Chain A
Amino acid sequence: MNYLIASLLLLFTCVSGVADQVNQPNLSHRSVAKAEAKTKNPPTKNRPTATTTIPEDELGNAPAEKVNDPFARLNHTTFRLNDSVTIHAVKPLARGYEYIVPSQVRTGLSNFFDNLDFPVRFGNDVLQGRFVRSGQEAGKFVVNTTAGIGGLIRVSDHVSSLADVPGEDFGLTLARWGFSSGPYIVVPLLGPSTVRDLTGYAGDFALNPLNWYLIFSNHRLISNVVGYSISASRFVVRAPAGVRTYEQMKEAAIDPYIAVRNAYLSHREAQVGK
């Protein structure tokens, strides 16, 4: 039974996967420039310095990128299941939470849970050999935990060297170790992923000491009740942003399945490039 609850919590904690991924702040445009370089045709010799008409052959001729999606049929089915769960279960929960809890408190709680995920980001920085970044993560954690009252206020945003530190996860660590993303998969309740990212998700789960109560029977930092409460609260706190992002994407999409797949894969590729 414990295992079943643990598995459900594991899945629920990241049902808003795209939103969590999409909300990572960064001004870096290295990956963006790389994407542009990838999509545009080779430069022509006679490129004008200031165009008076739209360049016919340079933009607009890039075909859609081929996607590694061998399980597309199964993924479509799972996508519809997740859509139903998001709209009929997670959305009412998120709306109820937003109705009951004032905006400033919600922001504080969101910051608090982000701060609690520090060991995951720090651990992955170390695993990737990014020691400067791991120092910045540690600095963020110290500043936000102390001056930010236990992580409720993101004071680090006002410190220039700590304001824009890309958050790492084990999926990104695997990418930097040379693992390819593998096929795209839509995981029930978890949402869009790849084989590499799903493996990474399990790694991040294990890296977070707050989840150890679910993994180890002896090495417990917290009791089961506290552990389940933290996991459930984290899910509820993150639900509104996840639902909003998903609904906005769906509303703007011609084909929601492809829109979400492209957004997820592009965003992850951009993160790997940072």
Chain B
Amino acid sequence: MYADKGGAARRRWLVMVSFCAVVLSSAAAPGDPVGQLRGQVDQVLAIAYSGQSNETIVDRVRPLLEKDFSFELVTRQAIGPGWRQFTPADQQKVTNLFSRLVIRIYAARVVGTQRPSIAYGKMVTLAPDRCEIPTRVTAPNGDRPYAVVYRLINLSGSWRIYDVLIEGVSFVANYRAQFDELVQRGGAPAVIKTLEAKLAEPINPNS
């Protein structure tokens, strides 16, 4: 009888511990997109404004951005419906080239000496697996603050960025408008050729 009571108590403890573990694990990354985004942005800014050489910044932020962004989804949206006509090999190549372009542009823009401050707004749910988080970026030099909205998707329990809107301008929609005619005219080869040519151009960090 005592043994049975002890067994029941152990089972109750096991159930409670398991429940707590589930609650705690669900309270981590996937449950709090704002907290996760804040952590991701802080990590990138910490590298960008660490005072180290700007020449290696692309290599230093790349692992973080590859973790934060769903580049496959970003690229697919940027290409639009034509994406489905691409072969898997072309899709992979375009994703690689486009993510390199995005990371290079991003890295060139976040360098500087004065770290901006970012205010996070309230999360808006777009779908059960998607949300957007408005932020307000204020540069310390007194320039006017501007609005940046991050759109995130829950992929395998982790929130990943799939679009960024700056003052109402969607990053992926802007590229989709640019790629549209190119995709219709020349398909994947034209896109690959154009992206390779773009990546060969020097980028001016002072612009």
Q: Which residues of A contact B (CB under 8 A)?
A: 21-29, 31-33, 35-36, 39-40, 43, 47-55, 58-65, 67, 103-104, 107-108, 110-111, 114, 154, 157, 164, 241, 244, 247-248, 251-255, 258-259, 261-263, 266-267, 269-271, 273
Contact = CB atoms under 8 A, between A and B. Distances in A.
Complex A-B, nearest 7 residue pairs according to Cβ-Cβ distance, in ascending order: A270-B168, A107-B142, A64-B180, A60-B76, A247-B207, A25-B145, A262-B177
A254 B178 contact: yes
Nearest to A154: B142
Contacts of B105: 251-252
Given A29-B134, A254-B198, A263-B174, A59 B146 contact: no
A25 B146 contact: yes
Contact of B80 (A33, A64, A108, A261): A64
A43 B77 CA distance: 17
A16 to B, nearest CB: 13
A248 B72 CA distance: 24
B129 A51 contact: yes
7 contacts: A23-B144, A39-B170, A54-B153, A54-B155, A59-B162, A104-B142, A241-B143
Interface string B111-136: 00000000101001011110010111
Contacts of B177: 64-65, 67, 258-259, 261-262
B144 A254 contact: no
Contacts, number: 180
The main secondary structure of chain B at its interface with chain A is mixed
Contacts of B58: none
Nearest to B127: A47
A229 B77 CA distance: 48
B45 interface: no
A267 B167 contact: yes
Contacts of A248: 109, 207
B81 interface: yes
A55 B126 CA distance: 14
A79 to B, nearest CB: 14
A47 B128 CA distance: 8
Interface residues of B, number: 63
A36 B126 contact: yes
Interface in B157-207: 157, 162, 165-170, 173-182, 194-195, 198, 201, 203-204, 207
Given A25-B144, A33-B124, A47-B127, A60 B80 contact: yes
A115 to B, nearest CB: 12
Given A54-B70, A61-B80, A63-B180, A32 B165 contact: yes
A23 B167 contact: yes
Contacts of A33: 124, 126, 132
B126 A111 contact: no
A271 B147 contact: no
Contacts of A104: 141-142
B75 to A, nearest CB: 9
Nearest to B151: A36
A232 B21 CA distance: 66
Given A247-B207, A251-B201, A254-B175, 20 more contacts: A22-B167, A24-B144, A25-B146, A26-B167, A27-B135, A27-B136, A29-B132, A36-B151, A47-B127, A51-B155, A54-B70, A54-B73, A103-B141, A248-B207, A251-B203, A254-B182, A255-B178, A255-B182, A259-B178, A269-B168
